Amino acid sequence: MAALSVALGVGSALPILKSVTPVELKIPEWPRVKIAKLSELSNEPSKVFTYPLENTPNILLKLGSRVDGGVGPDGNIVAYSQVCQHLGCFVRFIPAGQSSGMADKNVFYCPCHGGYYDAATGTILAGPPLYPLPRTLLQYDETTGDIIAYGMGPPVIFGKGPPGSTEIWRNLIGGNLVRGE
């Protein structure tokens, strides 16, 4: 009877032990994706694209002057998640001189709650967002003129993890990765 009690106790504890055993999460690698050619940005200085998942919109910009971390021959091309860090609405790009709220700057504007972000840095300028827009990491290929996305900077895209988290691997979960090179 004692042996049977021990066997039943061990048998009922196994599911509990499995639930506390660390599970190895297989995190996919960041896809490398050609998102534009430099020549495409000469007439239209912005382009919406999806990265790193098929359901996560980003916006590529060719700004008028060099910016920290910018790519291209003039160091003026940047990209950010298009998902506002407040409640997940999509921001839109407004060039300098066309915004009533920030006339002297290139900005991203969230029409849902009036948030403004600096288009060169992704930092918050006004409104309710608490975190900057996540930056899409870019490379420029001088020989082909291709602009390539290869990763994301922190914080995580709104809705992909705890707000403001630096666990950027969470941006790779919850959908299909875009097809890379």
> Which residues carry out catalysis?
86, 113
Measure Cα distances from 157 to 75, 132, 149, 173 in Å: 24, 10, 16, 11
- Reference 53, options 28, 85, 77; nearest CA is 28
Closest C-alpha among 127, 87, 88 to residue 107: 127
Tokens of 10: 């061990």
Query: How far, in Å, CA of 161 to CA of 170, rounded?
Result: 6
Residue for token pair 């003129």: 145
